[in-house]
Protein backbone atom coordinates (compact mmCIF):
# COMPACT_ATOMS: atom_id res chain seq x y z
CA UNK A 1 0.00 0.00 0.00
CA UNK A 2 1.22 3.48 -0.84
CA UNK A 3 0.57 6.78 0.85
CA UNK A 4 -2.01 8.86 -0.97
CA UNK A 5 -1.77 12.64 -1.01
CA UNK A 6 -4.55 14.80 -2.40
CA UNK A 7 -3.56 18.25 -3.62
CA UNK A 8 -5.78 21.09 -2.34
CA UNK A 9 -6.90 21.83 -5.90
CA UNK A 10 -8.11 18.23 -6.27
CA UNK A 11 -9.99 18.46 -2.96
CA UNK A 12 -11.69 21.60 -4.26
CA UNK A 13 -12.57 19.75 -7.49
CA UNK A 14 -14.23 17.00 -5.44
CA UNK A 15 -16.26 19.26 -3.22
CA UNK A 16 -17.40 21.54 -6.05
CA UNK A 17 -18.62 18.48 -7.97
CA UNK A 18 -20.33 17.09 -4.86
CA UNK A 19 -22.15 20.40 -4.33
CA UNK A 20 -23.26 20.40 -7.96
CA UNK A 21 -24.58 16.83 -7.68
CA UNK A 22 -26.41 17.69 -4.44
CA UNK A 23 -28.13 20.59 -6.19
CA UNK A 24 -29.26 18.18 -8.91
CA UNK A 25 -30.53 15.55 -6.45
CA UNK A 26 -30.34 15.52 -2.67
CA UNK A 27 -27.81 12.97 -1.43
CA UNK A 28 -26.14 12.50 -4.80
CA UNK A 29 -23.12 14.58 -3.74
CA UNK A 30 -22.49 12.17 -0.87
CA UNK A 31 -22.67 9.25 -3.27
CA UNK A 32 -20.16 11.01 -5.52
CA UNK A 33 -17.73 11.49 -2.60
CA UNK A 34 -18.18 7.85 -1.60
CA UNK A 35 -17.28 6.79 -5.16
CA UNK A 36 -14.19 9.04 -5.08
CA UNK A 37 -13.06 7.57 -1.73
CA UNK A 38 -13.52 4.05 -3.12
CA UNK A 39 -11.24 4.82 -6.06
CA UNK A 40 -8.74 6.51 -3.72
CA UNK A 41 -8.55 3.18 -1.88
CA UNK A 42 -7.92 1.33 -5.14
CA UNK A 43 -5.13 3.79 -5.98
CA UNK A 44 -3.54 3.22 -2.57
CA UNK A 45 -3.68 -0.55 -3.05
CA UNK A 46 -2.21 -0.59 -6.54
CA UNK A 47 -1.61 2.65 -8.38
CA UNK A 48 0.22 0.97 -11.26
CA UNK A 49 -2.97 -0.81 -12.35
CA UNK A 50 -4.22 2.46 -13.85
CA UNK A 51 -3.10 3.59 -17.30
CA UNK A 52 -0.71 6.41 -18.00
CA UNK A 53 -2.58 9.03 -20.03
CA UNK A 54 0.09 11.69 -20.45
CA UNK A 55 3.78 11.71 -19.57
CA UNK A 56 3.70 10.17 -16.07
CA UNK A 57 0.11 11.03 -15.12
CA UNK A 58 -2.27 8.13 -14.53
CA UNK A 59 -6.06 8.13 -14.65
CA UNK A 60 -8.63 6.22 -12.63
CA UNK A 61 -12.24 6.50 -13.77
CA UNK A 62 -15.23 6.52 -11.45
CA UNK A 63 -17.85 3.95 -12.40
CA UNK A 64 -21.09 5.78 -11.80
CA UNK A 65 -19.96 9.33 -12.48
CA UNK A 66 -18.20 10.68 -15.60
CA UNK A 67 -15.14 11.77 -13.63
CA UNK A 68 -11.50 10.83 -13.70
CA UNK A 69 -8.95 10.98 -10.93
CA UNK A 70 -5.59 12.06 -12.31
CA UNK A 71 -2.51 11.26 -10.25
CA UNK A 72 1.23 10.67 -10.31
CA UNK A 73 3.21 7.94 -8.58
CA UNK A 74 6.53 8.90 -7.02
CA UNK A 75 8.59 6.59 -4.84
CA UNK A 76 6.22 5.19 -2.21
CA UNK A 77 3.38 7.64 -2.67
CA UNK A 78 0.70 8.70 -5.10
CA UNK A 79 -0.41 12.31 -5.45
CA UNK A 80 -3.85 13.21 -6.78
CA UNK A 81 -3.61 16.25 -9.05
CA UNK A 82 -7.23 16.54 -10.16
CA UNK A 83 -10.69 15.03 -9.83
CA UNK A 84 -12.40 16.29 -12.95
CA UNK A 85 -15.20 15.66 -15.39
CA UNK A 86 -13.96 13.58 -18.30
CA UNK A 87 -15.31 16.05 -20.88
CA UNK A 88 -13.31 18.90 -19.42
CA UNK A 89 -10.24 19.92 -21.40
CA UNK A 90 -7.06 18.42 -19.84
CA UNK A 91 -5.27 21.78 -20.01
CA UNK A 92 -7.54 22.94 -17.18
CA UNK A 93 -5.64 20.75 -14.69
CA UNK A 94 -2.37 19.64 -16.32
CA UNK A 95 -0.56 22.74 -15.08
CA UNK A 96 -1.03 21.55 -11.49
CA UNK A 97 1.97 19.27 -11.60
Question: Whole-prediction pTM value?
Answer: 0.89
pLDDT at 43: 96
Whether pLDDT at 96 is above 70: no
Share of the chain above pLDDT 70, in %: 89
**Range of lowest pLDDT (4-13, 27-36, 79-88):** 79-88
Instruction: Tell me the C-alpha distance between 62 and 69, whole Å.
Output: 8
* Domains defined for the chain, CATH in brackets: 3-94 (3.30.2310.20)
The full length of the chain comes to: 97
Share of the chain above pLDDT 90, in %: 78
Amino acid sequence: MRALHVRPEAELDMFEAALWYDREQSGLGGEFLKAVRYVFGRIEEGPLQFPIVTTDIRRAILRRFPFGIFFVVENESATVLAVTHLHRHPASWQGRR
